[in-house]
Structure 1
Amino acid sequence: MKPYVISNVAMSLDGKLTTIGGDSRISCEEDLIRVHKIRAKVDGIMVGIGTVLKDDPRLTVHKIKANKNPVRIVVDSKLRIPLNARVLNNEAKTIIATTEKADEEKIKELKKRGVEVIKCGEEKVDLKKLMNILYEKGIRSILLEGGGTLNWSMFKEGLVDEVSVYIAPMIFGGKAVTYVDGEGFKTVDDSIKLELKNFYRLGEGIVLEFLVKK
C-alpha cells in the first residue's frame, strides 16, 4: 500500500519551473492560495533536497486558515540538508528520507531537533519503499511539490496518482529546470498517460487537473 500522490507544479507555458537564472516567481497570488488549500487537505508534503537548497521553503499552510500542517517530507539521499533550513523549524513534523550511507552524526543532530530520519536505500532513496513506510505511518495522501529530478523519479516508479498544474502566461526558453527532467522515456508507448479531469482559468493563467492512467 502507498499514499495517494498529487503532483503539483506551477510552470511557464514551455514547461519550465525557473528561468535560466533560477527565478521561479511563476505563481500568482490566486495560485498560491489554491496550493495551500491542497496542502490543508493532505497528510504530507514532499520535496527533494534541491528544492530545499534553492528555495528554503517552510512547507506549511500559511496562506489560508487551517487546523493543521501536513507532515513535511524531504528526499535527501546524501543528507545535504542545512541545519538552519526552515523546513526543520517546529511549525510541523518533518521526515527526512535518506540512505544507509548518510552521516550518522548529522542524523543524531537532526533527531535531537525532533526530526524523523528514515533510511531506505543504499545509494539513492528507494521511493517505492519510502511510500510503503509513509503509508504504514498513517500518511494516506501526499502533495508532491518536487523539482524536475524528483518528479521524474516519482513518475518513473509509477507513484503519482494525480497531476495538478498551473500554467502561467510566460515563456522562459533555455535549458532551465522543467516539470519532469531525468533521462526521459524513449517512446510514446513508454510514457505516462493522463486523463483530463478538470481545467479552469485562474488569474491570468490556467489550471489543468489530470488523473494518471494506471
Structure 2
Amino acid sequence: MIPYVISNVGMTLDGKLATIENDSRISGENDLKRVHEIRKDVDAIMVGIGTVLKDDPRLTVHKINASPKDNPLRIVVDSNLKVPLNARVLNKDAKTVIATTTPISDEKEEKIRKLKEMGIMVLQAGVQKVDLRKIMNEIYKMGINKILLEGGGTLNWGMFKENLINEVRVYIAPKVFGGANSPTYVDGKGFKNVEECTKLELKNYYPLDDGIVLEYRVIGSFK
C-alpha cells in the first residue's frame, strides 16, 4: 500500500513555473490560500531537493488560519543529500523526512548523522536515484495516507513515470513566460509516445483570481 498523492502546481499558460531569471510570481492571494487549504488537509508535503535549494520553503500551513498541529510531515527527495543543514525545511515547525539513496560515503554518513541529531528521519532506497515506490511504501507504514506533491519538475516526472500520482490540481495564470530553459511542471526524460503517457480525466474547474483551476483524476492510478 502507498499513499494517495495530489500533485498541485501553479503555472503559466505555456506551462512555466518561473521566468528565465527565476521570477515565480504566478499565483494570486486566493490561489495561495487554496494551496494552504490543501496542505492543511493532507498528512505530508513532498518536494524535490531542487525546490529546497531554489526557494528554501518552510512547507508549512501559514497563509490561512492554522495552528502548528496543522503542519503536515515534510518529505524531501534528495538523492545526493544536498540539503543544507540550515534549510528552513529542517526547522522545528514540523517533522521532516529526507529520502535519499543507499550507497554510503564517509561524507554522506556524517551528513546523515548530523541530520539524525537534528531529529530528522532519513530513509534510503535506490542506488543512483531514490526508489520512489519503496519510499512511498515506507511513508505509508508511518501512517501517511495522503500526500501533497509540490514538485519540482524532476520529481514530478519521476512520480508520473512510476504511476504514483492519483490526482492533479493546476492553477493556470493568464501569462506566457517562454524560455527553453525556464522550469516547467514536468521535466525529466519524458514519455516516448502517447500510449505510454499519463492520461487524465477532468473532474472540476473554476475561475480563481485572474486565472483558472483545473482538477483531474489520473486514469488508471492505483487508488
Counterpart residue number, 2:111: 106
Counterpart residue number, 2:90: 88
* Matches of 1:74 and 1:87, distance apart in 2: 8
Counterpart residue number, 1:164: 169
Pairing of 1:1-214 with structure 2 (within 5 A)? 1-66=1-66, 67-102=69-104, 103-175=108-180, 176-214=182-220
Deviant stretches of 4+, over 3 Å: none
Q: 82-91 vs 178-187, which deviates more?
A: 178-187
Q: Which amino acid aligns with 2:134?
A: K
Q: 9-18 vs 60-69, which deviates more?
A: 60-69
Q: Which amino acid aligns with 2:95?
A: K
**1:50-91, Cα deviation, whole Å (9 max, x unpaired):** 000000000000111234210000000000000110000000
* Matches of 1:96 and 1:146, distance apart in 2: 15
Q: Does the 8 Å CA contact 1:78/1:101 hold for their aligned counterparts?
A: no
SS at match of 2:212: strand
Q: Does the 8 Å CA contact 1:72/1:95 hold for their aligned counterparts?
A: yes
Deviation at 1:143, TM superposition (A): 0.1
TM-score (norm 2): 0.94
**1:141-190, Cα deviation, whole Å (9 max, x unpaired):** 00000111110000000000000000011000111111111111111111
Gaps of 5+ in 1: none
Deviation at 1:40, TM superposition (A): 0.2
SS at match of 1:52: helix
* Matches of 1:191 and 1:99, distance apart in 2: 27
Deviation at 1:101, TM superposition (A): 2.7
CA RMSD of aligned residues (A): 0.8
* Matches of 1:65 and 1:29, distance apart in 2: 14
Q: Does the 8 Å CA contact 1:14/1:172 hold for their aligned counterparts?
A: yes
Q: Give the paired residue count.
A: 214
